[in-house]
Structure 1
Amino acid sequence: MITVLVLLIMEAGTQGADWSVTFENPDPCAVKGSSVEFRCSYSYKDGQTVRGTSWNKGESRNGTWVRVKLSDFPAYENRSEYVGDKQHDCSLVLHDLQLDDTGYYYFRFDTTKFGYRSKTSVYLSVTELRARVHPDTVRAGDHVTLECKTSCSLNRTVWYKDGRKVTKSTFQAQAEDAGKYSCVVEGQESVRSDPVTLDVYDPPMNVSVEVSYPSILTEDSSVNLTCSSSANPAAINYTWFKRRASPNSRDKSLIPVASGQVLSVPAVEVSHTDLYHCQARNIVGENNSTEVVLRKYDPPMNVSVEVSYPSILTEDSSVNLTCSSSANSAAISYTWFKRRASPNSRDRSLIPVAPGQVLSVPAVEVSHTDLYHCQARNIT
């Protein structure tokens, strides 16, 4: 009986010396959604044959730390892959990592005579990639830093903007840098962080004024001035100003007129001596448009006809009638009319003759009974 006891002790001692499990990287850290490999090797006494292997995860149950086979966890089905063998390789790959995969992992193997559990473990940390933009509010010209945060040290990170790779994680922001940014770990490009949006704010740019008025400007009508701009965020208010444009006026001060994107100026207030501009403002700043002059166009005045003919009027020659006028907007069309001047004629209606500033009347058509006049028209 004593002899048998000594043999058992010797066998156990031999097992402790020749049996081991070694983990190449006992503290791996990986990104959620990626894969990780536990590189592992094991040894045992010569002459033994391995008949089974298993990976286990440690957890506390009812206050007791236990090792549970991965095959007993439904969550690891189709995600755990044993890539080792029944010789000396005990490596394991976990796919599509989840945050709950964080924890302690152990290896066990069984031979024809003994079972051996690893004394140490692999502690896996699963982290998420979190993309951030600094500062939180970015104006055009600000220096921007893209930060890819994790709970552990990883390889170099790579950045993408709207799906396209970017080369710098720090830059001076311009409007075209706005977009959605995400980061990946180099070598694991299939797993990206949730995107973070970069908005580049700038004050209103390209502020302009559009002037519109009816085709016929009367005292009852209005001239509309519309202010527009490009900005991020959009302009939230518009203010209109005017100043005297007369060279003889010493008052060059700006006079606030009204607020709003559209300014309506009654025609009776339109003056050549007033210059208008608008100011567009958003949360970042403001900018002004260039000044515009509202021109009050008068209809042609002092319309007159000049008659010219050769010194000797023959049947082959012509009499030329030239229409002229004065207006601050030059006449754009002339129309000639005639009517009978005979006192015995009851027909006093006007007959359109021809357009154009000059009317040529053949000498053979010249009659004392015809009266001619021209009509001059401009944009009013």
Structure 2
Amino acid sequence: MWHFGNWEYVSHPDSSKVVTRFKKRTALIGDLQKHDCSLKIDEVKVDDTGPFCFRFDVPGIVKGSYFKHEVLIHITDSPDVPSINCLPELKAGVDLAVTCSVPHTCLTNPPIITWSYTNGTFAVYHNKTGNGAWQVYSVLKFIPLASDHKSRLTCTAKYWGGKQADASVLLNVTYRPKNVNIEYKESRVKEGASIDLRCASDSYPPASSYQWYNVIGDQTLRLPQTSATIYVQNVSRKSRAFFCTSQNSEGLTNSTTVRLNVEYKPEILSESACTLDITGQLTCQCIVDSIPPPEIEWRISGSNLNESNTGLKSFSINNSRGQQNTVTKVLQGWVPFTGILSCSATNTQGKASMSFKRPMSDSPDVPSINCLPELKAGVDLAVTCSVPHTCLTNPPIITWSYTNGTFAVYHNKTGNGAWQVYSVLKFIPLASDHKSRLTCTAKYWGGKQADASVLLNVTYRPKNVNIEYKESRVKEGASIDLRCASDSYPPASSYQWYNVIGDQTLRLPQTSATIYVQNVSRKSRAFFCTSQNSEGLTNSTTVRLNVEYKPEILSESACTLDITGQLTCQCIVDSIPPPEIEWRISGSNLNESNTGLKSFSINNRRGQQNTVTKVLQGWVPFTGILSCSATNTQGKASMSFKRPMSGMVLTI
């Protein structure tokens, strides 16, 4: 039991004897068997200072209080602040152990220590220091990084009851130079000028020595300068690459290589030249080394080359053959030059030029044909073929593959002993010329020749317009696909369909190349179409479908007797395909030899297409029932005939 000097109990086995202000706040936590009478007080207040006295009572044996050993408690407003051990010198990448400790007097609820550094591991230890006091330790193990330099490491002691206190130390981490780079102000420098370069880095302690290097081609030269900043004179395109090293007590680090943007006037390289390949094509290359990139122009006899007039074309290739900072201007075509060809290159630092020799070839110069306009069938056209030469007395003779036109030849002096011969062909392109090649041939004195050709694209209105379909015959009432086919350039873009019925022509709503016709009949079997493109419109011929239908015996079929008493019967049948027609008397086939009658057929009688007339004729009028029967692959029909009236009575 614990009590004040006035016998007010702060701790007692009988809680009813505990004074009010200590109720539920105290507990005896010591082990009396080990002579430990420790008292725990929760929610300590300012006036909980004591003095406190311990009392023991063993009923019937012994009891007493330790008045001579009263306990006083020193209470503060703030909790004890933890302490961090003195750190050794920190090195980036080297293991480190840091200890944070704090004293306390509550073993059952000691302070909890946490760390601001989360990338390590820690262990907690408790140590009894005597007189009811303890020490809690937390040992943090981690590997410092260069990025931890100048950061604060904090440990926090969190106490039972909610209060906390912390302590921190500044980390000074030594590390070798990093982020080593070369700094300079000028984004570009003229060849032959000077520039300041600075070797910058991040390190602790700061870098104490430097070394500079110059990279020239495959060689790396060590420079004599050892300061952070150097002054480079007479910078050139070949010596524009540098790197440096930065060193402190922790180590040495290289920078990346910096290539200065050195500007210099164009230089036309010696490998620039003109060549002719086995086909006679001329290829000239003007290879220019230059920063900034140059403007390159081709010239003939001092004048800028006009590509549209010469038939030559030019284009540029950057860094050709793997050579940095080079631009190759290529001139190409089948018309080798006769004047002085030169290449001119210019940039902000200056200019350069170079003349080219005419390449020699076993092949003669190839003629060129001027760029053709859009060709229209039936419209006059003039085409020019030209070729250079140096022999006025025996110039090349130009001939054409097209023989249905007329041509005229002209000669023009181009200078420096060179000439140009022109042949102008005039003709009227036809639709049949479309996709054919027009060739001009230059025949040289001595027997050699060369030619050039162009593909003719001739526009013409649709021709050979016709209706195509797969079925050679179609049953009446069935359906069929019809296609309006034509030959035209450009291809036909619109179509129109028509149905011819008797004397009427009906315009159908369909406007596509192919239509689907339903319920075909003998009356609506005639069709034609129109095909149209940008050049005009053309009609097809009228197509009459072969519509098959069963026989129909027309109403004008009849028997007559003339004044001589001759019987004539006509069975007129409309049918596709043509029918088999038979005469019958009282259901039996007519036997001409027994009756003295004869029969014969007439096709398309009275101008009626698809009709067959079966005629029965003789001087013996019938007395039975005369009928006509017509049959084809689509069906059959029959008709009975009335006996004709006459003043004569004849019997069979």
Q: Tell me the TM-score normalised to structure 2 length.
A: 0.33
CA change 1:123–1:237 in 2 (3 A) is same
CA change 1:40–1:218 in 2 (3 A) is same
Contact 2:275–2:283 (CA<8 Å) still a contact in 1? yes
Is 2:182 the partner of 1:215? no
Choose from 78, 98, 103 the match for 1:150.
103
Contact 1:159–1:182 (CA<8 Å) still a contact in 2? yes
> What is the CA–CA distance in structure 2 between the aligned matches of 1:224 and 1:290, rounded to whole Å?
12
> What is the CA–CA distance in structure 1 between the aligned matches of 2:237 and 2:337, rounded to whole Å?
47
> What is the CA–CA distance in structure 2 between the aligned matches of 1:280 and 1:204, rounded to whole Å?
7
Choose from 162, 185, 210 the match for 2:116.
162
- By how many angstroms is 1:270 displaced? 9.4
- One-letter amino acid of the counterpart of residue 201, structure 1: V
Choose from 343, 346, 353 the match for 1:373.
343
In structure 2, the partner of 1:287 is 252
> What is the CA–CA distance in structure 1 between the aligned matches of 2:90 and 2:181, rounded to whole Å?
29
In structure 1, the partner of 2:211 is 241
- One-letter amino acid of the counterpart of residue 343, structure 2: H
- By how many angstroms is 1:40 displaced? 0.7
In structure 2, the partner of 1:194 is 166
- By how many angstroms is 1:280 displaced? 4.6
- By how many angstroms is 1:238 displaced? 5.6
1:84-125 superposed Cα distances (whole Å, 9 cap, x missing partner): 79xxxx996435x6xx76843459xxxxxxxxx995755335
> What is the CA–CA distance in structure 2 between the aligned matches of 1:336 and 1:253, rounded to whole Å?
38
Contact 1:182–1:192 (CA<8 Å) still a contact in 2? no
CA change 1:106–1:159 in 2 (3 A) is closer
Unpaired runs of at least 5, structure 2: 4-8, 27-38, 54-64, 124-138, 308-313, 318-327, 351-652
1:208-228 superposed Cα distances (whole Å, 9 cap, x missing partner): 223656434332341634422
Is 2:321 the partner of 1:355? no
> What is the CA–CA distance in structure 2 between the aligned matches of 1:84 and 1:288, rounded to whole Å?
64
Choose from 131, 134, 154 the match for 2:83.
131
Is 2:221 the partner of 1:258? no
> What is the CA–CA distance in structure 1 between the aligned matches of 2:332 and 2:213, rounded to whole Å?
52
- One-letter amino acid of the counterpart of residue 195, structure 2: S
Contact 1:102–1:123 (CA<8 Å) still a contact in 2? no
Contact 2:104–2:110 (CA<8 Å) still a contact in 1? no
Is 2:50 the partner of 1:104? yes
Higher helix share: 1
In structure 2, the partner of 1:303 is 269
- One-letter amino acid of the counterpart of residue 301, structure 2: A
Is 2:301 the partner of 1:341? yes
Aligned length: 276
Contact 2:315–2:331 (CA<8 Å) still a contact in 1? no
Contact 2:190–2:264 (CA<8 Å) still a contact in 1? no
CA change 1:256–1:370 in 2 (3 A) is closer
Larger radius of gyration: 2
Query: How large is the Cα RMSD of the aligned pairs?
Result: 5.4
- By how many angstroms is 1:166 displaced? 5.3
- One-letter amino acid of the counterpart of residue 164, structure 2: R
In structure 1, the partner of 2:43 is 94
Contact 1:134–1:147 (CA<8 Å) still a contact in 2? no
Contact 2:52–2:72 (CA<8 Å) still a contact in 1? no
Unpaired runs of at least 5, structure 1: 1-20, 24-37, 56-80, 108-116, 343-347
- By how many angstroms is 1:321 displaced? 0.4
SS in 2 for 1:258: coil
- By how many angstroms is 1:254 displaced? 7.6
> What is the CA–CA distance in structure 2 between the aligned matches of 1:333 and 1:269, rounded to whole Å?
17
Q: Highest relative contact order (Cα 8 Å, sep 6+), 1 or 2?
A: 1
- One-letter amino acid of the counterpart of residue 167, structure 1: F
SS in 1 for 2:273: strand
Contact 1:133–1:196 (CA<8 Å) still a contact in 2? no
> What is the CA–CA distance in structure 2 between the aligned matches of 1:267 and 1:153, rounded to whole Å?
78
Contact 2:315–2:329 (CA<8 Å) still a contact in 1? no
CA change 1:91–1:239 in 2 (3 A) is closer
> What is the CA–CA distance in structure 1 between the aligned matches of 2:102 and 2:315, rounded to whole Å?
82
Map 1:315-334; keep pairs closer than 5 Å: 318-324=281-287
1:301-335 superposed Cα distances (whole Å, 9 cap, x missing partner): 4524311124574xxxx42102346x7xx999675
Contact 1:130–1:148 (CA<8 Å) still a contact in 2? yes
> What is the CA–CA distance in structure 1 between the aligned matches of 2:257 and 2:227, rounded to whole Å?
16
1:176-217 superposed Cα distances (whole Å, 9 cap, x missing partner): 7764322436x7384332231351512234252236564343
Contact 1:207–1:280 (CA<8 Å) still a contact in 2? no
Contact 2:156–2:165 (CA<8 Å) still a contact in 1? yes
> What is the CA–CA distance in structure 1 between the aligned matches of 2:14 and 2:106, rounded to whole Å?
31
In structure 2, the partner of 1:204 is 176
> What is the CA–CA distance in structure 1 between the aligned matches of 2:339 and 2:287, rounded to whole Å?
24
CA change 1:350–1:144 in 2 (3 A) is farther
1:258-295 superposed Cα distances (whole Å, 9 cap, x missing partner): 23xx54423449985997523254xx745342585878
